[in-house]
Amino acid sequence: MANEQQSAKMWSGRFREPLDPEFEKWQRSILFDFRLLPQETRASRAHAATLCAAGVLSAAETATICAGLDAVARRYAGARVEDALAEYPSAEDIHHLVELALTAEIGPLALKLHTGRSRNEQIATDLRLYVREEIARVQAALLDWAGALLAKAQEVGDAVMPSYTHMQRAEPVMVAHWLHAYVEMLLRDHTRLEDCCARLNRCPLGSGAVAGATLALDREIAARELEFDAPTANSMDATSDRDFALEYAQALTFVGLHASRFAEEMALFSSQEYGFIDLPERFSTGSSAMPQKKNPDLVELVRGRVGRIYGAAAALTLAIKGQPLAYNKDMQETQEPCFAVSGTGGMIALLAGFTRALSFRTERMRSAAETGYLNAMAAATYLVGKGVAFRVAHEKVGNAVRYALGKGMELGELSLEELRQFGAEFAEDFYGAVELMATVDCHDVVGGTARGRVKAALAAAHEEIARRKQCLCEARGAMETSDASA
């Protein structure tokens, strides 16, 4: 039995004894790389087309192999790895499993498919295809969440809230301005993933084990079939490169970072101490002990699960950092971190649903923005308009704030006589300058919270999201067309 299992290996020809049973179980990757079956069968179809062009396979043989690969893909679509291993217990990785299943499907012809290629280039290709598909999913989810934030920003209209620096109230801002800040973060995240995808979009097929294929293969064929921009330029780099996986995980750390910042604000602002937000019940849970509780479980879990993304990026860095060229078995350890972050798109989709269900206590937010001297900056700006140097204006308003604190009054509640003890420049028009909407509108610069600027920024963001969605749809359509024609 041991000899039978050994002879089933893809590499067993020069070996005289079987693997240690415990080592064999420990080193197998099929338990996690089984999820690459769609990518493996697709890449194998592309390699078959390349072999056909090189005269290694006839057109009839190529058609038979491709039909067999399609049958294998259909057979295991949605299946568990345990089901596949029940049929092929000796399969050590996804490449071996597909070869065994294809052989069962079409016979010995399946063994010709491995001509001119190595598992080193296969996994490099499969993983690039997988990461590229995951990037598209996350990008779509990011745009959906950005759209939900934008819709909520438009829904709240001219509602105002406090902004914070050092966790202390700073200046009034439009609620829409605050939400738009997250839209900008997500658009940057989208761009990082776009950049990552552009760099990974080179096809390793034809690189062989390390030095390049030993047949005169037209590598452009596989690249074209798999929607890559071009073949990789160096075989040693192609088979040992996992920069794209690390860059993908690192780009997702920014996604996680921004999701976590949003989650933190949701947890804070929904607390009774802030009271700015009503938590959507369908994204919250209660307490088994305290009947009154409504807990922000979704956003708390987001904060926690972001650690997985950071952990994946660190694991990839450590797996790659000490490896000499070219392929080493350590590379197997770069797969699971890529799979570990596969839930990122789903997490972002949940945040989009959470955002759509949010309701704001705008009166509470407005009240918080109208108290605590958040109009002090506007007051200093008022004095600057009267010809006072800003440093002097800052001092005068600071003195007025200290006086108002002692009186338990806001700046706008002080009499003109009281204000003039701090500066003769104060006049009746001061009160209009420090009203809530005036303090908002005085920030009338690109990127500022003035109502007109926010309206323009939201319109620009709407156009940008629509443009990026269209680009994603076109890319997806092109890929689906290519798959159908194949």
Residue 9: pLDDT band with limits 50, 70, 90:
low
- Dihedral pair phi/psi, residue 84, rounded to 5°: -65, -40
Whole-number Å distance between alpha carbons of 377 and 409: 17
- The residue type found at 259 is A
CA dist 269 → 237, 266, 278, 280, 295 (Å): 49, 5, 9, 13, 12
* 22-38 pLDDT per residue, tens: 878 888 999 999 999 99
- What is the average pLDDT across 189-213? 97
Q: Is the dihedral of CA 117, 118, 119, 125 positive or negative?
A: negative
Q: Is the dihedral of CA 316, 321, 324, 329 positive or negative?
A: negative
Looking at 166, 288, 415, 485, which residue is catalytic?
A: 166
Answer yes or no: is pLDDT of 4 > 60. Answer: no
* 411-428 pLDDT per residue, tens: 999 999 999 999 999 999
- What is the average pLDDT across 189-217? 97
The pLDDT value given to residue 8: 57
Strand partners, 203: 231
DSSP code of 343?
A: T
Whole-number Å distance between alpha carbons of 332 and 207: 18
Catalytic residue at 287? yes
Mean pLDDT computed over every residue of the chain? 94
- What is the average pLDDT across 199-222? 97
Taking each helix axis from N to C terminus, what angle separates 243-269 and 175-200, rounded to the nearest 10 degrees? 170
Answer yes or no: is pLDDT of 5 > 60. Answer: no
Q: Identify the three-state secondary structure at position 160.
A: strand
* 355-402 pLDDT per residue, tens: 999 999 999 999 999 999 999 999 999 999 999 999 999 999 999 999
Whole-number Å distance between alpha carbons of 90 and 88: 6
Catalytic residue at 118? no
Whole-number Å distance between alpha carbons of 28 and 84: 14
The radius of gyration of the chain's CA atoms, rounded to the nearest angstrom, is: 30
- What is the average pLDDT across 127-152? 98
- What is the average pLDDT across 455-477? 93
- What is the average pLDDT across 292-296? 90
* Superfamily the domain 376-434 falls into: Fumarase/aspartase (C-terminal domain) (1.10.40.30)
The pLDDT value given to residue 13: 63
Q: Which CATH number does the domain 2-115 belong to among 2.60.40.10, 1.10.275.10, 1.10.3470.10, 3.40.50.720?
A: 1.10.275.10
Domain 120-368+459-485 coded CATH 1.20.200.10 = yes
* 435-448 pLDDT per residue, tens: 999 999 999 999 99
Residues 152 and 357 sit within 8 Å (Cβ to Cβ): no
Residue 291: pLDDT band with limits 50, 70, 90:
confident
Query: Strand 168-174 relative to strand 160-165: parallel, antiparallel, unpaired?
Result: antiparallel
Looking at 271, 287, 359, 482, which residue is catalytic?
A: 287
Say if residue 58 is exposed, middle or buried (CB neighbours under 10 Å; 0-12, 13-18, 19+): exposed
Percent residues over pLDDT 70 in the chain: 95
Answer yes or no: is pLDDT of 54 > 80. Answer: yes
CA dist 344 → 179, 297, 378 (Å): 21, 17, 42
Strand partners, 230: 202
* 305-343 pLDDT per residue, tens: 999 999 999 999 999 999 999 999 999 999 999 999 999
Q: Which helix (H) or strand (E) holds 171?
A: strand 168-174
- The domain limits of the chain are 2-115, 120-368+459-485, 376-434
Whole-number Å distance between alpha carbons of 428 and 412: 11
